Amino acid sequence: MIENQVKDFDAVVIGAGFSGLYMLYRLREAGYSTRVIEAGDGVGGVWYWNRYPGAKCDIESIYYNYTFSKELYQEWNWTSKYPEQKEILSYLNYVADKFNLRKDIQFDTRINAAHYDEVSCRWKIQMNDGTSVTAKFFISGVGCLSATNVPNFKGLENFKGDWYHTGKWPQEKVDFRGKRVGVIGNGSSGVQAIPEIAKEAGHLTVFQRTPQYTIPARNYLYDPSFIQQTKENYEEIKRIMHGSPTGNGIQIRNVSALEESPEERSKVYEEAWQEGGFAFTSTYNDLFTNEEANKTAADFIRAKIKEIVNNPETAKKLLPDYFFGTKRPILDTGYYETYNRGNVTLVDVKNDPIVEITPNGLRTMAEEYELDILLFATGYDGMTGPLFNIDIRGRDGVTLKEKWEGGAAVRTYLGLGTAGFPNFFMITGPESPSVLVNMPTAIEQHVDWIADCIEYLTQNSLDTLEPTREAEEEWSRHCREVAEMTLYVKTDSWYTGANIKGKPRSFLIYLGGFVYYKQKCNEVSASGYDGFVLSSRMTLQ
Ligand code: NAP
């Protein structure tokens, strides 16, 4: 039991990333006392921690921002199509300063536990510094990808060199010059880091378990006149972001890949490949639902890999064979080309598995590789990981982990809340569209819904709100059914939880589209929160 509450807030929010900053802004504007608790020493969330070389966003800058403030949109100038981590972090710092948010953020602090007290209808929240606070509303802005995964390789503790995880990168620059560097992992983070590190390292060895499909980003600097135009079109950009299935400017062509001839398809794929970015994933409407359609895109990329990579043996190792796009699609800058460099070696650790980390490097079944620096680009315990890292307990002292059976039985209503955990909200929680929508758009929609909900409770003198078991069963079933109609569930990925040893397999991203999802959320609020139980303490006593 948590004791000695010091201060009571209307709301406590976990994390000062895109979610936490906007949640704080909305609640404070409405007059609620709010405290954000942030583990880092600055704002930024995922963009605070992911400082690895090459880190950038693969959503177009002009859509990868807030839309809640026209003034903010007019003031900020993005410099390139895909913003680098540094620029996004500067943007979030600018937001924090402009809206004077820092004064309500407690930095360098982690929430260890949050327990709901049924008598006081308050959350008791305990921090790692021994302090605790109470709050009526407990809101998670912890992010979907903040619990880093460092696989439990034998011997890591004996490694004499330096090792890093891409998602917990040090603030100071890591010097790769002349060093023997090893990278384990080639998802979005590895694919961005590998070409940059190869330019600097003495030798780079990439330990690849599953090859990836990646598409050239073809990033470029924006013309200032284009940025000026986007400012003039702020309302239209906002409308596109909040009214499209993916929350950004990407339009998927409403044509099946199987409707067009192989020649037409090649032309379409080639044009999209030359254009760069997610134009490629938007070429046909059935790439993620139809195996045959998917194969046409996969074959095109496999042919590109063979064309780009000079050494046929290396090219062969780089050929993926799972359904294209069912692991998170990746954009790159010179990734496959990097394997043509003399200082880069690719090791296939599916065929030659990693046995241990040694004091001097890494040993596979067949060979030992001497390394000065080892880099884990090994991803995250996604969706549930960050929530399970906190001891969150609802009614009757039941933990979230217990209720969700360690991830085997995740049940939420709209990904916003879960039965038995009153006044607990999740921003981009499991079973909401989250990472398969442009994150700032998904976040703004959730924050607005939560802020409006809190205001509704206040206006109606209500103390608590939580989903009914029936509503969350129905929503979770719907999520699973939609996911089963796609190819995503057929691939081992962090989306399915297959990247974490022992993690139950499930697909926790809602795939019914952002527009439908938003409409459903709006209907629920307009109905007076159908599917939720609302009560006041008067009725509880
Ligand atoms: P990831 O996609 O999960 O990739 C992890 C990599 O590590 C995979 O290649 C995986 O191989 C490998 N790996 C994991 N455990 C391993 C082990 N025990 N032995 C050997 N290899 C192992 O992680 P990520 O690259 O950090 O990306 C995670 C997500 O973050 C992305 O999907 C995306 O949503 C987000 N992200 C976005 C951007 C952006 O541009 N917006 C940039 C970076 C990250 P397997 O494939 O075999 O599991």
For residue range 177-222, what is the model confidence (pLDDT) as tens digits? 999 999 999 999 999 999 999 999 999 999 999 999 999 999 999 9
Q: What is the average pLDDT across 36-44?
A: 98
Virtual torsion, Cα 529, 531, 533, 534, nearest 10 deg? 0
Question: What secondary structure, in 3-state letters, does 148-163 show?
Answer: ECCCCCCCHHHCCCEE
Partners of 425 in the β-ladder: 139
- Quote the pLDDT of residue 539: 56
Give pLDDT, residue 243. 93
Q: Is 204 helix (H, G, I), strand (E, B) or coil?
A: strand
Q: Are strands 368-370 and 361-364 parallel, antiparallel or unpaired?
A: antiparallel
CB-based burial label for 350 (10 Å; 0-12, 13-18, 19+): exposed
Chain centroid, CA 385 distance in Å: 12
Percent of the chain whose pLDDT exceeds 90: 97
Which atom of ligand 1 is closest in space to residue 379's alpha carbon?
Answer: 23
Q: Note whether 18 and 443 are within 8 A (CB).
A: yes
Residue nearest to atom 4 of ligand 1 (CA): 187
If one residue of 188, 281, 435 were mutated to test the ligand 1 pocket, choosing by the most ligand atoms within 8 A of its CB, it would be 188
The finding on whether 209 has its CB within 6 A of some atom of ligand 1 is: yes
What tens digit of pLDDT does each residue of 370-403 get? 999 999 999 999 999 999 999 999 999 999 999 9
Q: Rounded distance, CA 154 to CA 59, Å?
A: 37
Q: Where does the pLDDT of residue 541 fall: very low under 50, low under 70, confident under 90, or very high at 90 and above?
A: very low
Asked if residues 204 and 194 have their Cβ atoms less than 8 Å apart, the reply is yes
Cβ proximity of 68 and 22 under 8 Å: yes
**Pocket flag, ligand 1, residue 188 (CB < 6 Å):** yes
251: pLDDT confidence band, cut at 50, 70 and 90?
Answer: confident
pLDDT at 538: 64
* For range 7-31, the mean pLDDT: 98
pLDDT 10s digits, 66-79 = 999 999 999 999 99
By alpha-carbon position, which residue is closest to atom 20 of ligand 1? 209
**CB-ligand 1 contact for 377 (6 Å cutoff):** yes
CA of 521 relative to ligand 1 center, distance in Å: 31
For helices 439-459 and 514-526, angle between their N-to-C axes, nearest 10 degrees: 0
Give the pLDDT band of residue 537 (cuts 50, 70, 90).
Answer: confident
The rounded Cα 100 to chain-centroid distance in angstroms is 26
List pLDDT tens digits, range 326-337.
Answer: 999 999 999 999
- Average confidence score pLDDT of the chain: 96
Cα(349) to centroid(ligand 1), Å? 15
Q: Which of 85, 169, 189 to mutate to test the pocket of ligand 1 (most atoms within 8 A of CB)?
A: 189
Q: How far, in Å, from the CA of 164 to the mean position of ligand 1? A: 14
* Closest CA to ligand 1's atom 19: 209
Tell the residue number behind the tokens 């909401």, with chain if given.
432
CB 146 within 8 A of CB 49: yes
pLDDT band at 5 (very low <50, low <70, confident <90, very high): very low
